[in-house]
C-alpha cells in the first residue's frame, strides 16, 4: 500500500511540474527557416511573464517589450510593434524553438551563457 501511495504521489508531482514550461532567462536568436518579417536577436523572459527583446526587421533593429504566457505547447507574445502572436514552442535546457502554426516557419533561440 505504501508503494502505491508513493508512486501516485510521485506521478502527481511529475504531472504538475511538467505543466509549466519555465523559459526564464536570456536567449540568443539563431536564425529562421523562412523569410520572416522579423526575427529575435537577444530575448530575456522574466519569471513574472514579461519579456524584452531585440527584434530584427531586415537591417533594422529595435527594442521590444511585452508580456508572454504559456499554455501547453503554445506561447502567446503580446508586445509592440507586432501586437499579439502565438507560436508552438519546444524547449530543452539549451534551446527554444518557436514554430508559426500558419507558415510552419521556425525560429531557434539558444540559451545565453
Residue 4 lies in a domain: no
Q: What is the pLDDT of residue 37?
A: 59
- 529575435: which residue's cell? 40
Interstrand relation of 50-57 and 39-45 (parallel, antiparallel or unpaired): antiparallel
Q: What is the CATH number of the domain that holds 57?
A: 2.40.128.280
Residue 27 lies in a domain: yes
- The domain tally of the chain equals 1
Residue 2 lies in a domain: no
Residue 85 lies in a domain: yes
Residue 16 lies in a domain: no
Q: Which cell is 7 given? A: 508512486
Residue 95 lies in a domain: yes
Residue 3 lies in a domain: no
Distances (CA, A) of 5 to 8, 15, 16, 44, 67: 5, 15, 16, 40, 40
Query: What residues make up the domain containing 50?
Result: 22-111
Distance separating alpha carbons of residues 73 and 81, to the nearest angstrom: 24
Q: What is the pLDDT of residue 32?
A: 55
Residues with Cβ within 8 Å of residue 109, at least 6 apart in sequence: 27, 28, 29, 30, 40, 43, 95, 96, 97, 98
Confidence check: pLDDT of 90 > 50: yes
| Whole-model pTM over 0.75 | no
Q: What is the pLDDT of residue 59?
A: 78
Q: What is the pLDDT of residue 75?
A: 95
For all residues of the chain together, what is the average pLDDT? 77
Q: What is the pLDDT of residue 14?
A: 34
pLDDT in tens, 36-89: 656 788 899 999 999 999 887 777 888 889 999 999 999 999 987 678 989 999
Residue 65 lies in a domain: yes
Amino acid at each position: 500500500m505504501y508503494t502505491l501511495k508513493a508512486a501516485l504521489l510521485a506521478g502527481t508531482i511529475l504531472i504538475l511540474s511538467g505543466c509549466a514550461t519555465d523559459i526564464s532567462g536570456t536567449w540568443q536568436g539563431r536564425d529562421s527557416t523562412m523569410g520572416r518579417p522579423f526575427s529575435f536577436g537577444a530575448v530575456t523572459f522574466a519569471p513574472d511573464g514579461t519579456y524584452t527583446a531585440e527584434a530584427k526587421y531586415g537591417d533594422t533593429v529595435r527594442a521590444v517589450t511585452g508580456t508572454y504566457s504559456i499554455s501547453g505547447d503554445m506561447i502567446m507574445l503580446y508586445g509592440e510593434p507586432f501586437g499579439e502572436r502565438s507560436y508552438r514552442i519546444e524547449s530543452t535546457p539549451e534551446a527554444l524553438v518557436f514554430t508559426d502554426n500558419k507558415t510552419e516557419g521556425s525560429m531557434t533561440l539558444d540559451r545565453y551563457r
